[in-house]
Amino acid sequence: MQAMQLKHRIQELLDCAGVTIDGDRPWDIHIHDQRFYSRVLAEGSLGLGEAYMDGWWDCSALDQFIDRILRAELDKQVNPKKDWLPIVKARILNLQNTSRAFEVGKHHYDIGNDLYERMLDSRMVYSGGYWKEAQDLESAQEAKLELVCRKLGLEPGMRVLDIGCGWGGTAKFAAERYGVEVVGVTVSQEQVSYGRTFCQGLPVDIRYQDYRSLNEKFDRILSLGMFEHVGVKNYRRFMEQVRNLLVEDGFFLLHTIGRLQSGRGCEPWISKYIFPNSMLPSARQICEAFEGLFVLEDWHSFGPDYDPTLLAWYDNFTNHWEELRDTYGERFYRMWTYYLLTCAGSFRARSNQLWQLLLSPNGFQGRYDAPR
């Protein structure tokens, strides 16, 4: 197929989303390499992302572009065979087994604390904020942490487990504000090193450890933005492990990104460049995983709040880029820009969700009124 025919085919698809090739609106795309058209038609979302990294196209408002194409469901109209490879692999292999659990730590979370210090809030919280009354990233993340602690009903002296504790921001907040003792586990060595210093002097124990190797009891358990790395083959085991670690009258809070339909793979570009071996759970998959183990006390959905969180991270990243440029380079800049802005667009389009579930082993005795 000739280049003009390929361009015409792509433009026909984009017309459904109100996007024009070489148009003058913020969400219009500008093509710098004519190979873009065949690459996208052949490779779908992976080709689109890689072509952006290679500088083959640009868009002044990537988040708006992605919002529009997802709302028009163009991702379902370009579905090359390559996109099925991660799904097939996920069906055959357990991509998140114990031996692979630490891969995402090395690939993503260990790339440099200097990057995350400049991108995130002062507590280094790397999950969606709560913007109900917040005006900036700092207050949105504090509001989220306060919401989590209130939902869990933390009290002084409680022993709390943070699965996927990141750089220790949540653990420090809970220990300082609520007087609890916290054990945090992460698969990132850089997070452990940072977190131990960050939480020094507090009853906080940050460990380089997979959740499956724990064998202790906790009054409360929380997991913020880690379940996306667990994988469908391990959802039941994850819930069983949490149930074994939690006291009979305890609470477990799960904070996770979710998808609208059950699946086994991840978006190909995200899986290759950002979060290897990751996948988003559906509501059905989560419910099946905890069925017979927990009583569902509350399910809170606030996916639109991830949009301003990602935009705030993007602003911080770009505002500090000159301090990072020599370490990371221009290709990383395009990759990270694509990651943050396309994810923002996906939450705005409601393609991705953000959920907080509160679970109890035997059901809360009385009426549980979930904080909002």
Can you give the pLDDT at residue 160?
A: 98
8 A C-beta contact, residue 219 and residue 250: yes
Confidence of residue 80 (pLDDT cuts 50, 70, 90): low
Can you give the pLDDT at residue 99?
A: 52
- Tokens 């009583």 belong to 295
Could you give the residue numbers annotated as active site? 343
d(CA 218, CA 227): 19
8 A C-beta contact, residue 249 and residue 221: no
- Kindly state the average pLDDT of the residues 167-187: 98
SS3 of residue 42 by DSSP: helix
Which tens digit of pLDDT belongs to each residue from 86-119?
444 444 544 545 655 667 678 789 999 999 999 9
For the record, the structure tokens of 219 come out as 């009054």
Predicted confidence (pLDDT) at residue 163 exceeds the cutoff of 90 = yes
d(CA 89, CA 134): 41
Can you give the pLDDT at residue 50?
A: 98
Predicted confidence (pLDDT) at residue 250 exceeds the cutoff of 70 = yes
Partners of 255 in the β-ladder: 224, 356
Question: Picking from 16-20, 286-290, 301-305, 363-367, which range would have the lowest pLDDT averaged per residue?
Answer: 363-367
Can you give the pLDDT at residue 98?
A: 61
What are the structural domains, with CATH classification, of the chain? 3-79 (no CATH), 95-342+350-360 (3.40.50.150)
79, burial (CB in 10 Å: exposed 0-12, middle 13-18, buried 19+): exposed
- Kindly state the average pLDDT of the residues 184-189: 96
HSE-CB for 3 with a 13 A CA cutoff: 5
Can you give the pLDDT at residue 193?
A: 97
Which tens digit of pLDDT belongs to each residue from 187-239?
999 999 999 999 999 999 999 999 999 999 999 999 999 999 999 999 999 99
Can you give the pLDDT at residue 76?
A: 80
Can you give the pLDDT at residue 251?
A: 98
Which tens digit of pLDDT belongs to each residue from 275-327?
998 899 999 999 999 999 999 999 999 999 999 999 999 999 999 999 999 99
Predicted confidence (pLDDT) at residue 33 exceeds the cutoff of 90 = yes
Which tens digit of pLDDT belongs to each residue from 145-157?
999 999 999 999 9
Confidence of residue 267 (pLDDT cuts 50, 70, 90): confident
Q: Sheet of 295-301: strands edge to edge?
A: 204-208, 181-186, 159-163, 218-224, 246-259, 352-360, 295-301
d(CA 48, CA 114): 29
pTM: 0.92
d(CA 186, CA 101): 10
Instruction: Provide the mean pLDDT of the chain.
Output: 93
Do strands 218-224 and 30-31 pair parallel, antiparallel, or not at all (unpaired)? unpaired
299, burial (CB in 10 Å: exposed 0-12, middle 13-18, buried 19+): middle
Confidence of residue 265 (pLDDT cuts 50, 70, 90): confident
Predicted confidence (pLDDT) at residue 335 exceeds the cutoff of 70 = yes
Alpha carbon of 140 to those of 53, 126, 164, 302: distances in Å?
A: 31, 12, 20, 13
End-to-end CA distance of the chain: 55
Calculate what percentage of the chain has a pLDDT beyond 70. Answer: 93
d(CA 241, CA 277): 21
Can you give the pLDDT at residue 234?
A: 95
Helices (H), 205-279: 235-245, 268-273
